[in-house]
Amino acid sequence: MTHIAATASSSTQPAEALLTTLAKGFVNRLVIIIPYLWLLFFFLVPFIIVFKISLSQTAISMPPYTPVLDFKDGVAGFFAGFRALNFDNYTWLTQDALYFNAYVTSLIIAGISTILTLIVGYPIAYGMARAPATIRPTLLMLVILPFWTSFLIRVYAWIGILKPEGLLNQVLLATGLISQPLVILNTYTAIFIGIVYSYLPFMVLPLYSSLEKMDYSLIEAAQDLGCPPTGAFWKITFPLSLPGVVAGCLLVFIPAVGEFVIPDLLGGSQTLMIGKTLWNEFFSNRDWPVSSAVAVILLLVLTIPIMFFQQAQAKAQEQGR
């Protein structure tokens, strides 16, 4: 606040200084209020509505659900509405094994894909961090660039590669490695490939930024003292890159659980993931209350990793300052 005092003393007119302070206070408040209100209205309120509608029943009308908890009948009506709330949609979710399987499958697929992405991404990030400083910005640019091309297009590109008569099978057949085309498209393998491919930059970037900061003389010291390279990696490099590992894994895992495009286009109709289930429930069955209930449970499942992510972000922000 030193600058306000300075302004006040230089202008010699207290009224003007007061005006500046007031203006500053107003601007300050506006800077906070505008994005705050926007996010409240378009991010938080919608979740409350999702929760509300998950407690209503399907109806053949537009919108296709019975009204719950509105103020049409005044405050008394609002409270009366509490008694009318029903948890049928949630009971339904627990009774039909389909939903439970979809949640579990999604978590497992996301978990395996995250580990695969880490295994693929780590050597790339490590190689980049150890590259000559002059070419590092170019390498970084090359990792970010695919991120700018459409997600849908990148997933679509894999259909042509993985199809039974696709490019991968053509190459493998031509080289004589296989005699029968492999069935990859419309299996879980295709989903793994799709997720690893699409989310690779999200893994590489945080890994790179923590590996780049590392002091490599530590490894030289370890090796001088007789530590084998793999030992040095697990004892020094990996622990030091752990913040990057955690950030990268969260950035891949959380969106992957609710992924829709990849399981839908690469996984075919046989594979089961919760994002796809929600989509079908909404667009094919037109059951808004059940899809809301699916969303609420998905959100609850993801609350813990999302909170971890938010904390990691906040911490990174603190350190940046």
Query: Looking only at residues 259 through 318 of this chain, which bind other proteins when binding is defined by CB under 8 A?
Result: 259-261, 265, 275, 278-279, 282-283, 288, 291-292, 295, 298-299, 302, 305-306, 309-310, 313-314, 317
* Listed ranges 90-98, 111-119, 163-171, 235-243: which one lies at the site for other proteins (CB under 8 A): 163-171
Please, which residue, 20 or 58, has the CB nearer to other proteins? Answer: 20
Print the binding letters for residues 104-133 with other proteins: x by CB under 8 A, - otherwise: ----------------xx-xx-xxx-xxxx
Nearest distance from C-beta of residue 276 to other proteins, angstroms: 9
Question: Could you say whether residue 238 binds other proteins (CB under 8 A)?
Answer: no
Is residue 93 within 8 A of residue 297, CB to CB? The reply is yes
Nearest distance from C-beta of residue 91 to other proteins, angstroms: 20
Question: Could you say whether residue 20 binds other proteins (CB under 8 A)?
Answer: yes
Q: Which of 48, 49, 55, 50 is nearest to 88 (CA)?
A: 55
Question: Could you say whether residue 98 binds other proteins (CB under 8 A)?
Answer: no
Contact residue for other proteins among 79, 216, 234, 238 (CB under 8 A): 216
Nearest distance from C-beta of residue 76 to other proteins, angstroms: 21
Please, which residue, 94 or 313, has the CB nearer to other proteins? Answer: 313
10-33 burial string, b = 16+ CB within 10 Å, else e?
eeeeeeebeeeeeeeeeeeeeeee
Contact residue for other proteins among 13, 74, 75, 148 (CB under 8 A): 148
Is residue 212 within 8 A of residue 130, CB to CB? The reply is no
Please, which residue, 1 or 76, has the CB nearer to other proteins? Answer: 1
Question: Could you say whether residue 10 binds other proteins (CB under 8 A)?
Answer: yes
* Listed ranges 30-38, 91-99, 175-183, 235-243: which one lies at the site for other proteins (CB under 8 A): 30-38
Question: Could you say whether residue 213 binds other proteins (CB under 8 A)?
Answer: no
Question: Could you say whether residue 240 binds other proteins (CB under 8 A)?
Answer: no
Looking at residues 50 to 79 of the shown chain, list those that interact with other proteins (rule: CB under 8 A).
50, 53, 63
Nearest distance from C-beta of residue 6 to other proteins, angstroms: 5
Question: Could you say whether residue 170 binds other proteins (CB under 8 A)?
Answer: yes
Nearest distance from C-beta of residue 244 to other proteins, angstroms: 15
